[in-house]
Amino acid sequence: MSWPDFQDNWKSGKFLPPDYDSTDAPTMTGGTDVVTAVYILHIGTMSEKHANISVKLQYTLTWADNRLYDIAPSWVPVSPSLVWSPPLAFGQSVRRVTAEEEGDTTMWLDPRGVVIYKMTYALDMITLKTT
C-alpha cells in the first residue's frame, strides 16, 4: 500500500470495523477509564475589576476502546470525527470557548486500541469572587 493510500484509509475511516459507531462509548468491563491532563499554555488578559481571565489550555485525554483492538499497525493518526471520545464540559464560569487551529487537535490510535486525543482551547472565564 502506498503512503497516500494509507493516509486516505485512516482519514476516511475505511479501517474501522463495519459495525463501529462513534456515538457509542466503548463497553469495557467496569466502565471506560479516561486519563486526563491539562496544560496551561498561556494566561492572557486578567481584569481584577471585572473578575475576568483568559487562558489557553491543552487537554489530553487517553482511553482504551476494545472495538479498535488490533486494527492499527502502529501508532497512527485518526480523524477525531471518526472515533468515540468522551464528552468535555466546562464549568459555568466559562463564558466563551474557542477551539484553536486544526493542527492543535490531534488523535492517535495504537494496536492495543489505546486512543490519545489532544485539543487546544482558548477560554474566557469569569472568576469567582470570594468574600
Cβ(22)–Cβ(84) under 8 Å? Answer: yes
Residue 53 belongs to some domain of the structure: yes
Structural domain count, the chain: 1
Nearest residue to 107 (alpha-carbon basis) of 90, 82, 73: 82
Residue 131 belongs to some domain of the structure: no
Residue 76 belongs to some domain of the structure: yes
Q: What's 8's domain CATH number? A: 2.70.170.10
Site of grid cell 468522551: 86
First to last CA, the chain: 65
Residue 117 belongs to some domain of the structure: yes
Whether residue 63 has pLDDT greater than 70: yes
Residue 38 belongs to some domain of the structure: yes
Percent of the chain scoring above 70 in pLDDT: 76
Cβ partners under 8 Å of residue 126, min gap 6: 51, 52, 93, 95
Whether residue 92 has pLDDT greater than 70: no
The whole-angstrom separation of Cα 87 and Cα 27 is 16
Which has more confidence, 68 or 53?
Answer: 68
Residue 8 belongs to some domain of the structure: yes
The whole-angstrom separation of Cα 43 and Cα 28 is 38
Whether residue 122 has pLDDT greater than 70: yes
- Domain range enclosing 33: 3-126
The whole-angstrom separation of Cα 97 and Cα 101 is 13
Whether residue 74 has pLDDT greater than 90: no
pLDDT the model gives residue 11: 73
